[in-house]
């Protein structure tokens, strides 16, 4: 019985260590990356939603690449866009964009590395091909 108990305790210790490793707090970079993806996806959903106001159709495109220095200007422009404020989904999206901008220029300023400053790439992104399902 003793060897099985030791094995069981070893297994529990190993699984606990694995869980703790995965439960590490998010880094600044991982938070910025996940929030930018969330915002980009929410914007895509907003554009394809049938319930949106016509003003959403003319809003600036919102594709975010946190490795592109121009993303900061893109976020500022999106948050300052004067129309669609009466649409709840747009207001919520602007609030997320404002949060991302604040995180990038304040909290994560030293942690982020911009690989490009190609503003056109944010207007006309080259997206990976969609996998057939």
Q: Would you say 65 and 112 are in contact if contact means Cβ atoms under 8 Å apart?
A: no
The residue ranges of every structural domain in the chain are: 26-123
Chain-centroid distance, C-alpha 17: 28
Residues of the chain with pLDDT below 70 are 1-3, 5-6, 8, 11, 14-26, 50-53, 125-133
Angstrom distance (rounded) from CA 115 to CA 121? 12
Q: Which of 75, 71, 52 is nearest to 44 (CA)?
A: 52
φ/ψ bin of 114: left (φ > 0), alpha (ψ from -120 to 50), beta (otherwise): beta
Q: What is the pLDDT, as a whole number, of residue 82?
A: 85
Angstrom distance (rounded) from CA 110 to CA 7? 45
Angstrom distance (rounded) from CA 18 to CA 33? 23
The whole-model pTM stands at: 0.70
Q: What is the pLDDT, as a whole number, of residue 95?
A: 93
């Amino acid at each position: 019985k003793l060897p099985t108990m030791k094995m069981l305790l070893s297994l529990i210790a190993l699984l606990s260590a694995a869980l703790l490793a995965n439960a590490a707090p998010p880094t600044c970079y991982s938070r910025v990356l996940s929030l930018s993806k969330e915002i980009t996806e929410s914007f895509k959903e907003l554009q394809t939603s049938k319930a949106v106001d016509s003003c959403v159709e003319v809003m600036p495109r919102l594709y975010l690449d946190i490795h592109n220095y121009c993303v900061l200007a893109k976020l500022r422009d999106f948050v300052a866009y004067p129309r669609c404020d009466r649409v709840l989904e747009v207001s919520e999206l602007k609030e997320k964009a404002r949060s991302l901008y604040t995180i990038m220029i304040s909290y994560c300023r030293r942690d982020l590395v911009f690989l490009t400053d190609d503003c056109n790439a944010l207007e006309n992104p080259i997206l990976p091909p969609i996998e057939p399902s």
